[in-house]
Amino acid sequence: MLFKDKTILVTGGTGSMGSRLVRRALGGELGMPKKIIVFSRDEAKQHYMRMEYQRRAPATDDIVYNNFTNVLECRIGNVRNYSDVCSAVRDADIVINAAALKQVPTCEYFPGQAVLTNCVGPLNIVRAIEEGGYPVETVVSISTDKACKPVNVMGMTKSLQERIFISANILNPRTRFICVRYGNVLASRGSVVPLFLDQIHHGGPVTLTVPGMTRFLLSIDQAVDTVFCALREAKRGETYVPRAPSATIENIARALIGQRDVPIKIIGIRPGEKTHEIMVSEEEAHHCVRRGDYYAILPMLPELRSDVLDESAGLKEEFSSADTVLNPADTATLLRKHRLMPEDISAGIAQVLR
């Protein structure tokens, strides 16, 4: 199995997506890893991660707890620091780069900081593998829809991150560098659902930027599924994109409000924010193929496209969140499916912010 007896390095491993990926890897669904290294700069989050596993009742989470005590290793470090990266990468078979500055307005105000984390960090990973000769099998870049036709600093730096990892395949033929790209992750820290739930809990108003703004909707587990699928199937230089549904921000808010008497306030678009998300551009559609529930964007570099394109074309035009928008009822059904419409809003906040 994919992770069996492997050492997995997860940069940004204490974030919403990184921590869920770690939990599932510890569960052994892809085989039992030899070690999982959580690499991040926040000692508090690493401490809380340890405490979370230790509080689990052995009767219900015995397997995960035992894996934690034997397998999980937390390391303090920063992807911006080359020596920190070398120390972590040299022991890894698989590297999953989830470290990022991802808040759009923050990156607009501090673009230099975004470059350091989102671009220099990936360069350090590539450089460490190349100069150190470390036998890393696969590196996965966690990217975002905002990297596609970017209009903000966050998207621009993530677009460069994709190119940094894809091009790394040329000079590092022993290592497979691949990417995944997905949209808004439901209930992740800093996303819109926890914000709306908190506003509803306090009686409103629920603040909307633009009512007709659309977003792809993906659960954290579906985001992890995308990474796992790419690890299993993606060829060198490919980018995997989930075929996710989308909804308007207004429908999301109204579904969460339900019958409650909570007002809605329009506040306008934030700095650098897009009205609609695009996960595959019109230009990329020409070298995009469909594989099950995913699109695979083939690399532009001819050296990485040695295989004859015999797979059926996945798209004839760009893949935008404005194309297939869920109606209000289906939006509510999707949120309910992912347990984001609790009858008790307080319980809902505890669930998504834990």
Give a three-class secondary structure readout of 85-103.
Answer: HHHHHCCCCEEEECCCCCC
Residue 299 in this model has a pLDDT that exceeds 90: yes
Does 65 have pLDDT greater than 80?
Answer: no
Statement: residue 352 has pLDDT above 80: no
Return the pLDDT at 337: 87
pLDDT given at position 307: 54
- pLDDT tens-digit profile of 124-170? 999 999 999 999 999 999 999 999 999 999 999 999 999 999 999 99
Which of these is catalytic: 6, 45, 146, 158? 146
> Is 34 tagged catalytic?
no
Residue with the bigger pLDDT between 352 and 105: it is 105
Three-class DSSP category at 240: strand
- Stretch 326-354: mean pLDDT, rounded? 69
**Span 109-126, mean pLDDT?**
98
At residue 309 the predicted structure's pLDDT band, cuts being 50, 70 and 90, is low
Kindly tell me if the per-residue pLDDT of 248 is higher than 80.
yes
CA atoms within 13 A on the CB side of 326: 21
Sheet containing 138-144: order of strands: 72-76, 35-40, 7-11, 94-97, 138-144, 176-182, 239-242, 294-297, 288-291
Contact (CB, 8 A) for 232 and 282: no
DSSP letter string over 138-168? EEEEEEEGGGSS--SHHHHHHHHHHHHHHHH
Separation between Cα atoms, residue 248 and residue 267, nearest integer Å: 15
- Rounded CA-CA distance 137/8 in Å is 10
Q: What is the pLDDT of residue 270?
A: 79
Residue 68, pLDDT > 90, answer no
DSSP letters spanning 290-331: EETTEEEEPPSSGGG--S---SPB--SS-EETTTSBPPHHHH
Q: What angle do CA 292, 232, 181 make, to 5 degrees?
A: 65
Question: Does 353 score more than 50 pLDDT?
Answer: no
The predicted structure's pLDDT at residue 308: 47
pLDDT at 310: 56
Weakest-pLDDT range from 208-212, 245-249, 340-344: 340-344
**Block residue for tokens 């690890």:** 231
DSSP state of 205: P
φ and ψ of 185, to 5 deg: -95, 115
Give the span between the Cα atoms of 283 and 267, in whole angstroms.
33
- How far apart are the C-alpha atoms of 19 and 17, rounded to whole Å? 6
Instruction: Report the percent of the chain where pLDDT is more than 90.
Output: 69
Of the candidate ranges 99-108, 215-224, 277-286, 305-314, the one whose mean pLDDT is the lowest: 305-314
What Rg value do the Cα atoms of the chain yield, rounded? 20
| Residue ranges of E strands in the chain | 7-11, 35-40, 72-76, 94-97, 138-144, 176-182, 206-208, 214-216, 239-242, 246-248, 264-266, 278-280, 288-291, 294-297, 319-320
Please tell me the predicted confidence (pLDDT) of residue 348.
43
Residue 49: which pLDDT band, with cuts at 50, 70 and 90? confident
Q: Give the Cα separation of 257 and 332 in Å (integer).
A: 10
Q: So what's the pLDDT on residue 35? A: 94
The answer, yes or no, to whether residue 237 has pLDDT greater than 60, is yes
CA 17 to chain CA centroid, nearest Å: 6
What mean pLDDT is reported for the chain?
Answer: 88
When pLDDT is averaged across residues 295-322 and rounded to a whole number, the result is 81
Residue 345 scores a pLDDT above 60: no
Per-residue pLDDT at 59? 45
Kindly tell me the burial class for residue 328, based on how many C-beta atoms sit within 10 Å of its own C-beta (0-12, 13-18, 19 or more): middle
Q: Which domains does the chain have, with CATH numbers?
A: 77-353 (3.40.50.720)
- pLDDT tens figures, 9-35: 999 999 989 999 999 999 999 999 999
What local confidence, expressed as pLDDT, does residue 183 receive?
82
User: Which residues make beta-bridge pairs with 74?
Assistant: 38
Residue 346 binned pLDDT confidence (cut-offs 50, 70, 90) = very low
pLDDT digits (tens, 9 = 90+) for 173-199: 999 999 999 987 876 766 788 889 899
Q: pLDDT exceeding 70 applies to what percent of the chain?
A: 88
Q: Are 100 and 18 in contact (CB under 8 A)?
A: no
Report which of residues 183 and 228 the model is more confident about.
Answer: 228
Of the candidates 188, 203, 102, 200, the one whose C-alpha atom is nearest the C-alpha of residue 144 is 102
Q: Which of 4-18, 283-297, 332-346 has the lowest mean pLDDT?
A: 332-346
* Six-digit token string for 199: 């506003």
